[in-house]
């Protein structure tokens, strides 16, 4: 039994409250504009005034998010997504620079990472690995959490001269909460004061038991600076990825997760997304949160425009109607009209849930009349 006030109903119908009260009086119902009427009475009134009722439910308008898993025979292996986490200055970005042969650190303000970087690396064996670089600074908890939640594997970077620090512990907690396997990379072993064994021992206090301590968490000693043992780390990532048997269906409309998004001066709203399944193509219509869009360009991690992007690829998407929130899902739909319809519906729902007075059933029922 849903209820709505006469006033609210009148507002939605674009009629005067007094006219509704009059009509109700003729139907032998004595109510004032501030009183509520039930759903059946509301429907009668709507028809009486010559409006058509269009019942809409979430499942009619919004995208079905049910367990529409892809058939096994359509699944193909996909690259692992690996998030690098750890305390500030422990060498996360340096490690990725060493792996990619780049120098991102030099371009960072104060050498501090302030956003999530996303890159794809091809190993000597030809396998691809997607890396997400997260900030270690205390202020960026939310980004670390997001990083842990979209990833298959976490590489925890701990500087051997500094040891377990507050954001090391925080990263461990995010990883454990996300239920993601971890590999510990003990970095800066080139430093004379490096003490890798102490780190292994201290990790026990945080329920991280590395293999050397007879646990099952892999650990590896590296130096990002001297590029020591990076292949060893890549091997351990490959081993862990193999155990996970990561798969996704490539030949279907794409779904992706927004890693971050911003308004770019020249290019408009830009979202960095990670493809979770399907293949994203230029010209695809999509909805992401309460925004719709049409893929105008896909840019890879080298800044190169590409025609399409498959599972586990991190890419920039241009052609959004607005800036979506990080963590939101991007879903490709049949056509432009559908994309707009879903985005519009979600926007209305978002405002409606803020209107405490309005019961959801009525919201859905009359949303098409606006
Ligand atoms: P945030 O992103 O701000 O959390 O820092 P980060 O973890 O990305 O650290 P970054 O890569 O910026 O490195 C911090 C400092 O440590 C830089 O001065 C690096 O040159 C130095 N560094 C990184 N790796 C090594 C290493 O293996 N050995 C030595 N000696 N120095 C290193
Ligand atoms: Mg960094």
pLDDT of residue 343: 93
Residue 12 binned pLDDT confidence (cut-offs 50, 70, 90): confident
pLDDT of residue 365: 45
User: Has residue 367 got a pLDDT over 60?
Assistant: no
Annotated binding residues for GTP, written as ranges, equal 86-93, 133-137, 187-190
Contact present, 212 and 220 (Cβ < 8 Å): no
Alpha-carbon distance of 59 to 245, in angstroms, equals 32
- In the reported structure, the alpha carbon of residue 8 is separated from the centroid of ligand 2 by a whole-number distance in angstroms of 53
Average pLDDT, the chain: 89
pLDDT of residue 115: 83
User: Has residue 203 got a pLDDT over 70?
Assistant: yes
Mutate to test the pocket of ligand 1, among 83, 87, 91, 187 (most ligand atoms within 8 A of CB): 91
Minimum mean pLDDT among 41-45, 267-271, 316-320, 334-338: which range? 41-45
User: Has residue 42 got a pLDDT over 70?
Assistant: yes
Residue 2 binned pLDDT confidence (cut-offs 50, 70, 90): low
Decide: 223 in ligand 1 pocket, CB within 6 A: yes
pLDDT in tens, 168-200: 999 999 999 989 999 999 999 999 999 999 999
Residue 362 binned pLDDT confidence (cut-offs 50, 70, 90): very low
Radius of gyration over alpha carbons of the chain, in Å? Answer: 27
Dihedral sign of CA atoms 97, 103, 107, 111 in order = positive
Mutate to test the pocket of ligand 1, among 84, 85, 86, 89 (most ligand atoms within 8 A of CB): 89
In the 3-class helix/strand/coil scheme, how is 238-252 assigned residue by residue? HHHHHHHCCEECCCC
Residue 366 binned pLDDT confidence (cut-offs 50, 70, 90): very low
- In the reported structure, the alpha carbon of residue 234 is separated from the centroid of ligand 1 by a whole-number distance in angstroms of 19
Q: Mind giving me the DSSP string for 301-325?
A: TTS-EESEE-TT-EEEEEEESSPPP
pLDDT in tens, 305-359: 999 999 999 999 999 999 999 989 999 999 999 999 999 988 888 776 655 444 4
pLDDT in tens, 282-304: 999 999 999 999 999 999 998 99
Residue 13 binned pLDDT confidence (cut-offs 50, 70, 90): confident
Mutate to test the pocket of ligand 1, among 171, 224, 230 (most ligand atoms within 8 A of CB): 224
CA distances from 147 to 241, 258, 278, 327, 367 (A): 17, 11, 21, 10, 36
Tell which atom from ligand 1 comes closest to the C-alpha of 226.
27
pLDDT in tens, 231-257: 999 999 999 999 999 999 999 999 999
DSSP element (H, E) containing 95: helix 92-100
Of all protein residues, the one whose alpha carbon is nearest to atom 23 of ligand 1 is 91
As given in the structure block, the two tokens for residue 257 are 């997760």
pTM, 2 dp:
0.80
User: Has residue 269 got a pLDDT over 70?
Assistant: yes
Residue 60 binned pLDDT confidence (cut-offs 50, 70, 90): low
Contact present, 293 and 316 (Cβ < 8 Å): no
User: Has residue 167 got a pLDDT over 60?
Assistant: yes
């Amino acid at each position: 039994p849903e209820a709505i006030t006469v006033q609210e109903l009148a507002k939605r119908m674009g009629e005067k409250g007094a006219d509704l009260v009059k009509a109700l009086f003729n139907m032998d119902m004595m109510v004032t504009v501030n009183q509520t009427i039930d759903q059946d009475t509301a429907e009668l009134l709507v028809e009486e005034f010559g409006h058509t009722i269009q019942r809409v439910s979430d499942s009619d308008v919004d995208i079905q998010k049910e367990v529409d898993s892809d058939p096994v025979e359509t699944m193909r292996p996909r690259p692992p997504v690996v998030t690098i986490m750890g305390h500030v200055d422990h060498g996360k970005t340096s490690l990725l620079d060493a792996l990619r042969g780049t120098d991102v650190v030099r371009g960072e303000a104060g050498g501090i990472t302030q956003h999530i970087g996303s890159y794809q690396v091809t190993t000597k064996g030809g396998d691809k690995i997607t890396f997400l670089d997260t900030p270690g600074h205390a202020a960026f908890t939310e980004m670390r959490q997001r990083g842990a939640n979209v990833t298959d594997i976490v590489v925890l970077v701990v500087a051997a001269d500094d040891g377990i620090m507050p954001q090391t512990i925080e990263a461990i907690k995010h990883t454990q909460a996300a239920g993601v396997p971890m590999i510990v990379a003990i970095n800066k072993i080139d430093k004379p004061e490096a003490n890798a064994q102490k780190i292994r021992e201290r990790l026990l206090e945080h329920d991280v038991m590395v293999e050397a301590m007879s646990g099952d968490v892999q650990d590896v000693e590296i130096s990002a600076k001297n590029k020591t043992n990076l292949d060893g780390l890549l091997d351990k990532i490959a081993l862990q990825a193999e155990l996970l048997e990561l798969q996704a269906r490539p030949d279907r409309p794409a779904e992706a997760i927004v890693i971050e998004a911003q308004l770019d001066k020249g290019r408009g709203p830009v979202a960095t997304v990670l493809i979770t399944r399907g293949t994203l193509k230029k010209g695809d219509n999509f909805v992401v949160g309460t925004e719709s869009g049409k893929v105008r360009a896909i840019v890879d991690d080298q800044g190169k425009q590409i025609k399409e992007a498959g599972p586990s690829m991190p890419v920039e998407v241009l052609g959004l109607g607005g800036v979506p929130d990080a963590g939101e899902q991007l879903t490709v739909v049949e056509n432009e009209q559908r994309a707009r319809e879903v985005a519009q519906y979600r926007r209305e729902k978002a405002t409606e849930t803020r209107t405490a007075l309005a019961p959801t059933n009525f919201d859905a029922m009359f949303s098409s009349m606006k």
